[in-house]
Structures are given as C-alpha cells and as structure tokens.
C-alpha cells in the first residue's frame, strides 16, 4: 500500500503523456486500478460457489463436498460460477478528429483513447477474459479477433500504436460491420469522440444491442471542446475537412456549449433507452480515475444484478 | 438652412478623422487572429449559423456608437454653434462684453450745458454702469482702461457681475495720455481667449474719441477723392489695405472679431485753451546769463480768445504776467521771455493761465519746467604746445600763443576782476592732465595734444560717458596713429572716426586754401550760421587740416569743407557729447580766430558740449524719473516729493556704461502720476538733489473728437458710433439679437448619453455571449 502514491503520481495524464510506451502506460493505469480497489492481480482468479450436483464417474475427487456427504451419505460435487466467459471487443475511433489536442490537454483524444483501451485490455486479460480489437475510421481498418491468450495483449498493443488516419468517421457503417462480425454475445466498448450525426450513431448502437451485445460507450472529448475557452478572434480550421470559420469566440461560446450539451444529452438519452453505459471522458482528467470510477459503478451494478439473479434461483 | 459652424474648425476636422478610429481598431483586430485546428466543427458551425446575424448587428451597433462618441466629443471640444437665434432655447447665447473705459487726462474735461458739474469720466463710468446693468445675467464681462499704459482691470471673462461693478467703480481718472492702441490690443487679446462664440463678443469703447489719439496713423483716402486726383490714379493704393498703422490695424482686428461700439462721451463744442509746451531756448543756464524760455499756447476751442494772461511762476513766486491779445480757433502762439535765476541749483518754473480763465480741461492750464542753474561751467583746456605760460593766470596777449589761449579768450571774453563769467576756462598742459580730477569739469577740450597715456584716455571716456563734453582740435603735434589706436573705435571711443593723412600746407602761399561749405548746414552746433552764408565764417581760409573718416554708425558731420571732406564731426558716448575739429583753434592752420564769428563758434561749441540744464528732468506724466547717484548717495534713503505726496524712490544699479570705469547707481521713481514738480531728496536733508517736471501729454489738450467718417477712414471693419445720449443698454443689445447659439453643452450631453448607451449595450451583449 506504500507504493500507492507513486502509482498515482504516474497516473496523471500529464505524466502519462511523457511515457512513450503504450504498454507501460496501460500497465501503470491498470495496476493502479487494482491498487485502488485492494485487489491484487497476482493472487489469481477467484472462484465463487454456485451449486451442488450428484457425483458421477469421472469427476475430480477434489471437488466432492465432504461435509454434505457427512450429512446425507451421498457424494455431491461443488459447482462454481465460471467468470471468464466474457468476450470484450474494444472498438477505437482512429479518425482524424481524434488527433485533436488543445493547449489545455496533455494528450490528444486518440492517445487518451488508446491508453484507456490498453488499460482495459490489460484488466480484461488479467481476468482471463477474451479481448478483441477493432480500429476504425470510415470503416473498420483493423480487426483483431477476441482471444484470452496471454500473448493477445502484446499483439493488441502493437496494433494500437500509431494509428490515426486522415479519414472521416462513418460510425453507422462501422457499428453495422462490427455487429455482423461478432458471432457470439460480446461486450463492445466503443471509444470515440462521436463526431458524426447522432441519429446514425444511435441506429448503429441499436443494431449492436439487437444482436444481444452489451455496449459500453466512452465518449472522449477534449477539455477545449467541452468548455470552449477561446478569447481572441480565431480562425477554426476543421479537421476531417469540415470547413473553416473565422469568428469571435466569446460571441459564439454560449451557443456552442448549448450545441454540445444538446448532443451529449441526446446520446445519453438514447443510451439509457438501449441499456448502454455511456460515459464522457475529458482528456484532462486522470485516466485511472476515469476508468476506476466507471468500473466501480459498473461492478457494483453487475454484482447487484448477479445477486438478484442468484437470490431468485 | 441650418448651418453648424465651429469655433475651432480644425479640432472639428481632427474629430472627423478621429471618429474613424474605432473602425480602424476594429479592422486591425480583424486582421489579428490565431488559427486553431478544430475537431468539433459541426457544433461550431451550427452555433455560428444560429447567432451570426445577431452578432453582426450588435457589432455594427457598437461600432456606430463608438464612432459617434469620439466624433461628438471632438465636436463638443470644437465648440459648435448655430448661426440662428431660433435655436437659442436649445443652447446658450452668452455674450462676452469688453468695456473699454477711457480714463486718460482728457476725460477730466467738464462740458458745459445741462450737467456742468460732471466730468466726462464720471459720465463714462455712469454709462458703463448702465451698460453693465443692461447685460443679461451670466454674460461674462471684461474691463480695459485706456490711460497709458492701458490695463486690463478685469483682464479675463469675469462672470461675477458684482465684482465687475466694483472694479468699474474703482477706476479713477488719471493725468496720463490715451493709449488707445494698447487698450484695443488688450481687448483683442481678451477676445482671442474669449469663452464666447465669435459672433457673441462685443467691445464698447467709452471715450471722448480724441482725434489726437490717432496721430501718426495713415488715413484711408476717401474713394471719391482718389478717383478725382490724377496722381492718385498713377499710384493706386491696394484696396485690401486701405488703412495702415498699428492702431488702425488693431482697431480693424477688433471690429472684425467682435461687435464694436464707440460710445462718444462729451460734446464737440468744448472750449479749451492749453499751454502745450514750455522749454529753454539756450542750452547754457546760470551765472549772470538770464534763462531764455518759451511757452506755447494753443487754442483748441472754436472761438477767439482775447485777453488771456499767462503767469510765469518761478519757485512759487509769480515772476511776471504775459498777455495774449487774441488767439483764434486752432491757433498756436509761442511766447518768449527771459528769467534771471541767480541761485544755482535745481529750480522749477511754472507757466499758468491767469486765474480768471476757465475752460473745459483745467489740467492743461499750467505747465512746469525743471531747470538746473549752475554757478559756472568749468571748461578744461588742455594744450599740447605749452612751452611757457600753461597754467598761468589768464589775461594779456601771452595766452594767444597756443590754441588753448585763443579758446580761453573766446569763451571768457572779459575776465575783469570781480566779474563772473558763466564759462570758466582753465588752461593746463597735456602732462598735467594725468593728475587732474576730471569730474569737476563740464567740458574738456584737447588742443593739439600729441598723445596721452591709455589710462588717461579711459578716464576721459568715463568722464564723457557720465555726461561731460569733449572736443578735440587737430594740430601739428597730433599723433595720428596714436589717436586712431587709443581714442578710436577700438580704443576709448572718443574719436568719432578714423584720422587720415594731413591735407594742405600750413603756408598759405604754397598750397591750396579750403573754405567751409555752407551747404546742408543744420547741426545745432552751428545754429548761428544757418542761413547766414554771407558771414565771415564761410570766408575763413583753412590751409591745412587733419581729415577724419567719420564712423558711419556713431558720427554726424556738422560741417564740411568745400572739397567735401568733413571739417567738424560730432558724436556721443554714454550721456556725453563729442566733437572733432579737423583744423586748429589758433592761427596755425586757419584764420578763423581772426574772424568775429570765432567767439560765436566757440561759445556754441561749448554750449552744445555742456550738459543740458535739466536734461532728462522734463518728462510726461507716467514716465520714470531717473537721476544718477554717486555710490555714497546710493546708501542713503531716497525720497521724491510730488503733487500727490512723498514716496520712496527705487535704487537701481545700472549696467556699466561704455567707457565708464565702474557701474553707476541710479534713482528711479515710477509714481509720477500727476502733473507738477517732483523734488528728489537724498538722505534726511531737505535740499533738492534733483527737480523734475512731469507734464501732460500735449495731445490730451486737443478735445476734438473723430466723427463717423473719420473713424471709417481709420478702421476697415464694421462698427457703430453712438453719442452719450443715443446710448442705451437696449440699443447695444439690439445689435446682438441675431447672436449665434452655442451647442457645446448639448454636444457634451450627447457624448455622455452615447457613452452610457454604449456601456449598457456592451455589458448586455457581453452577458448574452
């Protein structure tokens, strides 16, 4: 526990941005998370008791519950809840708009997104979940099939590093494509700035949900995009060739923030309807805090759901 | 058509340029922007689309307001006004009134008729007060007085009416001359700094408008006369400058800058007999010589004056009474008389019209003259040829050997024992001069002196600079180069030119003979020979002379030879006079001493060189009285007693005079404000150190006033002439009825309103963002 402050120090995006290796960066984030939740990843996966069943030939003796045998004189086998049956697909936006980085932000949205992706992948692989990766802009450019092979993480890191293209985002097509590719029920983590039409996004998300995938949406935005702090007259040159505008930012600020809020509210509302977890990530906020805060609420809600299911059976 | 004009048009023009400043700032700001790569362009474009029109509108509104604020502020400073009285309720129509009150001596005149007991000045003040009462409250007023030197009694635009009225009542009449030019100049200065618009200024000259105040001003020819005279057509006067002279120019300027009113106080038909001058006829006064004086009497009235008497008062005693049988209108008469004053010292002579006579102006009925009477005038004759007899008592033929002897005999022709002569010559040799106290003498004559020590030359220069007279006669002993070096312009400055090679031969049979030229003879030194060409003086034979090249800046040629060379050259140094005679005073080079005119010549030379009796002591009222003081006298208290009492005089250390050994002291007294005799005393003694006479400027005696035509010929601008009786405050006010209306306050209010609106809008638009 003494090492905790050190970890925290490295988890600040300002510091993280200085660490060039994505692998190291992700491990710092993830292990910091474990430190924060008091769960050591080195203790091994835990096994939770689920049920008893009658011993049949060929079962391992180790699992016979001798206490039950003492009471009933019959051999029962303990059954355990298997946890590592999760397939997690991390879909990362690599379009040009993700390369934006304001003066306020320590790293670009893309860097923030891949750091988060790598950290999540590490966490998942540590729990023996299968992790897949989809990089996209207009369409899915790279796709790594889900696997829980320990080498998967290395492969994934190599794929992630240094990928932003000049292309625009077409999120509808990407999500449709992804829905078609996933043959088994999966957890899709979509990390993007969502700079596309919201209706297309919502339709794509619906498609994913229709295939009974669980969807988590991480909306990555720059501090400047959220607060619009510009004072002096500025010529805004749109990335993804979305035009240019010379304006007096102070005059536009109010309307701009209204537009952003309207968009976020619309997406949030659609996500709630679809039982999609939606979270806005500010690239200036510490990555581990963002992830751990999210994971803490999520694990709490999952536990609640699981216990409700178990309690009912 | 409503035309707005500006008092300071160039400020308005600058304001127009400055009004574009906000636009320029806006354009500069537009050019200065930063470039930002931006991802969330969709939101931005949407926001811009929604608010672009509103923002543009706000920008234009603010820009317009800011331009308006700058422009209107500049306009307010430039002081706009409307040339129409219809808008008077919108704006203020303040009129700056400048009262020019004549308090010169002539305003003491009392006109006969309806109001016999009030002087012109009292009526001028009363008129001024009624004018003041007629001015609307809140109008600024200034007051200028005309008695020399003219003063701005209220020398700024004064809004405090009570204070102005008090100041007006405090003005007193003086005995000084009229300084109309100075007064109008002050008025013009006041108008220049006036807070009122150009059309809102009025100048009222309350004066007797004496024509004599305009003396020396060139007149504009009346157009009809100009056309009639053929020679005038040959030299046409440029029409743009019909009048000339400082007073006319100032009056014209005032007439163009403001509404000019002349309010004439007094009647035309004022009787006035005045003594305009009392002076000496001869320069030498003292001893047995009676003082020859002349008095000038002038009749400025319109009737013939008969049987007027003049009292001549010497030291408060009526010495004699002169009678003038008849003096016509505009006529002047000079009366000559002699006074014997035995007592040496400072005396005052007063000439006064007889007790029974009364006229409009009493002030000019008497006039004073200060006279310094001396016991004798010591003349020091320095002879260069003094083989024998120099310094010996005068008398007998023995003296006639040298030049000094001839001169001494001529200056004191009958030196019988017990008989006093005014001129007291004493002959010494040039070697004795070094140890001689010079200050005791009035005149020093160098006769055929070869050369002198430089220190003696500088002592001589100091002597002349302090008022002494020096004559230099040529001769065979004179060392030309020595004189040029030590007495010339580079040296002591006692020689009014540069000596050249001697001309002619002393032996009249061997060479040419020169005569004095009677042409262009006007020097006072030779006053008896003016217009007397047949006298023996012009038949004088000069066989040899030492010519002088006169110094153009310092010298005057009094007499020339018939070949054109200067014979006598005069000059001055400090307070004293110099004369150089190029020939001899004895028979060596000329036969002049053999002529009867030699005595007259010698006496007039001495008279001209001698310090003037009462010189600088006869002044006009208001002049500064000055008298030189010795260092010992300077330490004592100085008092001057005059007609208005006793006052302290000022001690002034005057700068070193050229050639003087040390800086001198001078007594100065400025408070000679009344006509009469002033006696300066030094220390606690009652003995007069100097007597001064301060007299009225003779121009003040002429009460004739200018009429409208006369003024028009002198002032090239609009003015109105009113007589005392025509004048009412309403009358003068009528001329200003169409006064322009100033809008500065309105404009300032507008600036404030615009500023408030701008601030409110800027805050509101800012809040919307």
Residue carrying the six token digits 């099939």: A145
Band (B116; pLDDT cuts 50, 70, 90): low
Which pLDDT does position A23 carry in this prediction?
A: 58
Separate counts of helices (H) and strands (E) for chain B? 17, 37
pLDDT at B666 over 50: yes
Which pLDDT does position B639 carry in this prediction?
A: 84
Q: What tens digit of pLDDT does each residue of B174-196 get?
A: 888 888 888 999 998 988 888 77
Q: What tens digit of pLDDT does each residue of A210-248 get?
A: 888 888 898 999 988 888 888 888 888 888 777 888 887
Question: Does A252 contact B47 at a Cβ distance shorter than 8 Å?
Answer: yes
Of residues B235 and B380, the one with the higher pLDDT is: B380
Edge-to-edge, what's the strand order for the sheet holding B305-314? B317-327, B305-314, B345-353, B366-373
Residue numbers in A near B768 (CB within 8 A): 254
Q: Is B43 helix (H, G, I), strand (E, B) or coil?
A: helix
Rounded CA-CA distance B405/B178 in Å is 54
Q: Give the number of beta-carbon pairs within 8 Å between A and B.
A: 95
Question: Does B32 contact A245 at a Cβ distance shorter than 8 Å?
Answer: no
Q: What tens digit of pLDDT does each residue of A243-294 get?
A: 888 887 887 888 889 999 999 999 999 999 988 888 888 888 877 777 776 7
Question: Does A100 contact B39 at a Cβ distance shorter than 8 Å?
Answer: yes
Rounded CA-CA distance A158/A32 in Å is 22
DSSP B230: H
Of B34, B45, B58, the CB nearest to A245: B45
Q: In which region does residue B122 sit, left (phi positive, over 0), alpha (psi from -120 to 50) or beta (all else)? A: alpha
Question: Does B37 contact A237 at a Cβ distance shorter than 8 Å?
Answer: yes
Burial tier of B573 (Cβ tally within 10 Å: 0-12, 13-18, 19+): buried
* Among B593, B683, B597, CA closest to B400: B593
**Based on C-alpha coordinates, what's the Rg of chain B?**
38
pLDDT at B138 over 80: no
Answer whether the bond into residue B573 is a cis peptide, omega within 30°: no
Q: Which two tokens stand for residue B423?
A: 């001129």
Mutate to test the interface with B, among A102, A235, A245, A246 (most CBs of B within 10 A): A245
Give a three-class secondary structure readout of A80-121.
Answer: EECCCCCEEEEEEECCHHHHCCCCCCCCCHHHHHHHHHHHHH
Which pLDDT does position A187 carry in this prediction?
A: 84
Chain B residue whose CA is closest to A109: B39
pLDDT at B141 over 70: yes
Average pLDDT of span B731-738: 48
The pLDDT mean for chain A works out to 77
Rounded to two decimals, the pTM is 0.53
Rounded CA-CA distance B248/B254 in Å is 10
Band (B291; pLDDT cuts 50, 70, 90): confident
- Write phi, then psi, for B18 (nearest 5 degrees): -65, -25
- The CA-atom distances, in angstroms, between B714 and each of B65, B205, B577 are 53, 15, 42
Question: Does A245 contact B768 at a Cβ distance shorter than 8 Å?
Answer: no
Question: Does A230 contact B44 at a Cβ distance shorter than 8 Å?
Answer: no
pLDDT at B518 over 90: no
pLDDT at B243 over 50: no
Q: What tens digit of pLDDT does each residue of B478-516 get?
A: 999 999 988 888 888 888 999 999 988 877 666 788 899
pLDDT at B732 over 60: no
Distance from CA of A232 to the nearest CA of B (A): 7
pLDDT at A186 over 50: yes
Q: Is B710 helix (H, G, I), strand (E, B) or coil?
A: helix
pLDDT at B117 over 80: no
State whether residue A180 sits within 8 Å of chain B by CB. Answer: no
Rounded CA-CA distance B182/B250 in Å is 9
Q: Return all residues near B358 (Cβ < 8 A) that are at least 6 apart.
A: none
Chain B residue whose CA is closest to A96: B39
Beta bridge partners of B408: none
Residue carrying the six token digits 């005045």: B274
Of A100, A234, A263, the CB nearest to B33: A234
pLDDT at A39 over 50: no
Of residues B521 and B67, the one with the higher pLDDT is: B67
Q: Is A227 helix (H, G, I), strand (E, B) or coil?
A: helix
Q: What tens digit of pLDDT does each residue of B704-727 get?
A: 888 888 888 888 888 888 877 776
Q: What tens digit of pLDDT does each residue of B157-166 get?
A: 888 888 999 9
DSSP B440-487: T-SEEEEES-----HHHHHHHHHHHHTT-EEEEE--TT--HHHHHHHT
Consecutive H or E run containing B381: strand B377-383
SS3 content of chain B, % helix, strand, coil (to 5): 35, 30, 40
Of A100, A233, A252, the CB nearest to B44: A252
Window from A17-31, B52-66, B85-99 with minimum mean pLDDT: A17-31
pLDDT at B237 over 80: no
DSSP B225: H
Distance from CA of B63 to the nearest CA of A (A): 15
The proportion of chain A whose per-residue pLDDT surpasses 90, expressed as a percent, equals 9
Count CA atoms within 13 Å of residue A71 on its CB side: 4
pLDDT at A313 over 80: no
Band (B578; pLDDT cuts 50, 70, 90): very high
Residue numbers in A near B51 (CB within 8 A): 251-252, 255
Question: Does A243 contact B45 at a Cβ distance shorter than 8 Å?
Answer: yes
Rounded CA-CA distance A222/B525 in Å is 113
Rounded CA-CA distance B92/B749 in Å is 13
Distance from CA of A143 to the nearest CA of B (A): 25
Q: Which of residues 710-769 of B touch A (CB under 8 A)?
A: 766, 768-769
Residue numbers in B near A254 (CB within 8 A): 768-769
Beta strands, E only, B46-167: 80-82, 96-101, 141-145, 151-158
Residue numbers in B near A100 (CB within 8 A): 37-39
Q: What tens digit of pLDDT does each residue of B594-623 get?
A: 888 888 888 888 888 887 766 678 888 888
Burial tier of B18 (Cβ tally within 10 Å: 0-12, 13-18, 19+): middle
ipTM: 0.74
**Based on C-alpha coordinates, what's the Rg of chain A?**
22
Which pLDDT does position B412 carry in this prediction?
A: 81
Which pLDDT does position B473 carry in this prediction?
A: 93
Rounded CA-CA distance B617/A178 in Å is 127
Q: Which two tokens stand for residue B350?
A: 């007063």
pLDDT at B278 over 80: yes
Q: How far is CA A30 from the centre of its chain?
A: 12
DSSP A139: S
Q: Are B125 and B132 in contact (CB under 8 A)?
A: no
pLDDT at B313 over 70: yes
Q: Parallel, antiparallel, or unpaired for β A234-238 and A244-247? A: antiparallel
Of A195, A234, A254, the CB nearest to B42: A195
Q: What tens digit of pLDDT does each residue of B751-760 get?
A: 899 999 988 9
Band (A41; pLDDT cuts 50, 70, 90): very low
Consecutive H or E run containing B278: strand B273-280
The pLDDT mean for chain B works out to 80
């Amino acid at each position: 526990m003494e090492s905790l402050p050190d970890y925290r120090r490295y988890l600040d995006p300002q510091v993280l941005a200085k660490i060039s290796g994505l692998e190291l960066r992700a491990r710092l984030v993830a292990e910091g998370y474990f430190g924060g939740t008091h769960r050591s990843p080195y203790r091994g996966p835990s096994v939770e008791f689920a049920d008893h069943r009658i011993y049949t030939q060929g079962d391992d003796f180790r699992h016979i519950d001798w206490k039950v045998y003492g009471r009933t004189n019959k051999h029962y086998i303990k059954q355990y809840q298997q946890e590592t049956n999760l397939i997690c697909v991390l879909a990362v936006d690599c379009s040009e708009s993700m390369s934006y980085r304001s003066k306020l932000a320590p790293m670009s949205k893309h860097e923030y997104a891949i750091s988060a992706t790598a950290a999540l992948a590490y966490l998942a692989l540590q729990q023996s979940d299968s992790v897949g990766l989809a990089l996209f802009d207009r369409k899915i450019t790279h796709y790594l099939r889900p696997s829980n092979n320990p080498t998967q993480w290395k492969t994934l890191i190599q794929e992630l590093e240094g990928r932003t293209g000049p292309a625009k985002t077409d999120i509808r097509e990407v999500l449709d494509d992804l829905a078609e590719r996933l043959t088994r029920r999966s957890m899709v983590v979509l990390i993007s700035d969502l700079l596309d039409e919201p209706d297309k996004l919502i339709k794509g998300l619906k498609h994913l949900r229709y295939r009974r995938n669980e969807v988590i949406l991480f909306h990555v935005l720059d501090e400047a995009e959220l607060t619009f702090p510009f004072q002096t007259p500025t010529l805004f040159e749109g990335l993804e060739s979305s035009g240019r505008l010379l304006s007096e930012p102070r005059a536009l600020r109010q309307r701009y923030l209204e537009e952003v809020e309207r968009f976020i509210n619309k997406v949030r509302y659609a996500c709630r309807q679809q039982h999609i977890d939606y979270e806005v990530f500010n690239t200036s906020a510490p990555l581990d805090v963002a992830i751990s805060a999210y994971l803490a609420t999520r694990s709490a809600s999952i536990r609640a759901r699981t216990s409700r299911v178990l309690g009912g059976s | 058509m409503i035309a707005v004009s500006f008092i300071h048009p160039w400020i308005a023009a600058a304001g127009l340029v400055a009004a574009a400043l906000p636009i320029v700032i806006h354009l500069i700001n537009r050019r200065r922007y930063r470039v930002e790569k931006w991802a969330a362009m969709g939101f931005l474009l949407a926001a811009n689309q929604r608010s672009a029109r509103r923002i543009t509108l706000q920008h234009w509104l603010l820009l317009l307001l800011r331009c308006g604020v700058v422009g209107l502020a500049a306009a307010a400073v430039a002081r706009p006004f409307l040339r129409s009285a219809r808008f008077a309720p919108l704006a203020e129509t303040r009129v700056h009134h400048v009262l020019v009150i004549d308090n010169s001596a002539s305003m003491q005149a009392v006109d006969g008729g309806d109001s016999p007991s009030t002087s012109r000045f009292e009526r001028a003040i009363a008129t001024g007060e009624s004018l003041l009462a007629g001015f609307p409250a809140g109008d600024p007023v200034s007051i200028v007085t005309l008695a020399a030197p003219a003063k701005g009694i209220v020398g700024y635009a004064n809004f405090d009416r009570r204070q102005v009225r008090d100041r007006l009542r405090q003005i007193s009449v003086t005995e000084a001359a009229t300084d109309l030019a100075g007064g109008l100049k002050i008025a013009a200065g006041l108008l220049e700094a006036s807070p009122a618009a150009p059309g809102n200024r009025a100048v009222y000259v309350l004066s007797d408008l004496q024509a004599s105040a305009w003396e020396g001003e060139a007149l504009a020819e009346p157009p009809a006369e100009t056309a009639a005279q053929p020679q005038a057509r040959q030299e046409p006067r440029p029409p743009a400058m019909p009048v000339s002279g400082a007073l006319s120019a100032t009056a014209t300027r005032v007439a163009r800058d403001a509404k000019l009113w002349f309010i004439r106080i007094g009647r035309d038909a004022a009787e006035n007999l005045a003594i305009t001058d009392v002076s000496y006829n001869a320069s030498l006064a003292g001893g047995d010589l009676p003082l020859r004086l002349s008095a000038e009497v002038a009749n400025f009235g319109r009737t013939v004056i008969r049987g007027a008497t003049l009292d001549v008062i010497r030291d408060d005693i009526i010495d004699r009474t002169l009678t003038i049988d008849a003096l016509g209108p505009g006529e002047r008469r000079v009366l000559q008389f002699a006074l014997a004053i035995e007592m040496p010292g400072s005396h005052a002579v007063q000439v006064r019209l007889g007790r029974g006579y009364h006229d409009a102006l009493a002030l000019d009925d008497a006039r004073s003259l200060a006279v310094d009477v001396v016991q004798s005038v010591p003349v020091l004759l320095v002879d260069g040829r003094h083989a024998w007899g120099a310094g010996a008592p005068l008398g007998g033929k023995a003296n006639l050997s040298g030049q000094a002897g001839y001169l001494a005999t001529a200056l004191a022709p009958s030196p019988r024992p017990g008989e006093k002569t005014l001129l007291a010559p004493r002959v010494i040799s040039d070697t004795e001069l070094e140890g001689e106290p010079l200050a005791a003498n009035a005149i020093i004559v160098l006769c055929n002196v070869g050369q002198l020590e430089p220190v003696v030359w500088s002592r001589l220069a100091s002597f002349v600079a302090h008022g002494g007279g020096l004559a230099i006669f040529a001769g065979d002993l004179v060392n030309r180069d020595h004189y040029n070096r030590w007495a010339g312009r580079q040296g002591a400055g006692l020689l009014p030119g540069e000596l050249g090679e001697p001309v002619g031969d002393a032996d009249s049979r061997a060479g040419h003979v020169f005569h004095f030229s009677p042409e262009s003879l006007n020097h006072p030194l030779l006053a008896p020979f003016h217009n007397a060409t047949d006298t023996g003086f012009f038949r004088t034979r000069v066989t040899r002379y030492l010519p002088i090249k006169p110094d153009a800046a310092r010298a005057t040629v009094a007499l020339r030879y018939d070949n054109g060379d200067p014979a006598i050259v005069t000059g001055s140094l400090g307070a004293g006079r110099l004369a150089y005679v190029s020939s001899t005073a004895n028979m060596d080079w000329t036969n002049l001493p053999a002529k009867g005119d030699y005595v007259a010549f010698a006496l007039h030379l001495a008279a001209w060189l001698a310090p003037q009796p009462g010189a600088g002591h006869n002044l006009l009222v208001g002049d500064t009285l000055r008298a030189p003081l010795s260092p010992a006298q300077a330490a004592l208290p100085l008092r001057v007693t005059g007609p208005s009492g006793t006052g302290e005089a000022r001690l002034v250390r005057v700068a070193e005079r050229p050639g003087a050994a040390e800086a001198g002291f001078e007594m100065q007294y400025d408070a000679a404000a009344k006509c009469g005799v002033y006696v300066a005393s030094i220390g606690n003694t009652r003995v007069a150190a100097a007597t001064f006479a301060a007299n009225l400027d003779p121009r003040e005696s002429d009460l004739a006033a200018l009429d409208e035509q006369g003024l028009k010929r002198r002032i090239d601008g609009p003015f109105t002439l009113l007589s005392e009786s025509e004048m009412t405050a309403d009358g003068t006010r009528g001329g200003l009825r169409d006064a322009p209306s100033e809008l500065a306050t309105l404009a300032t209010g507008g600036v404030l309103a615009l500023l408030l609106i701008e601030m409110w809008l800027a805050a509101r638009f800012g809040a919307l963002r």
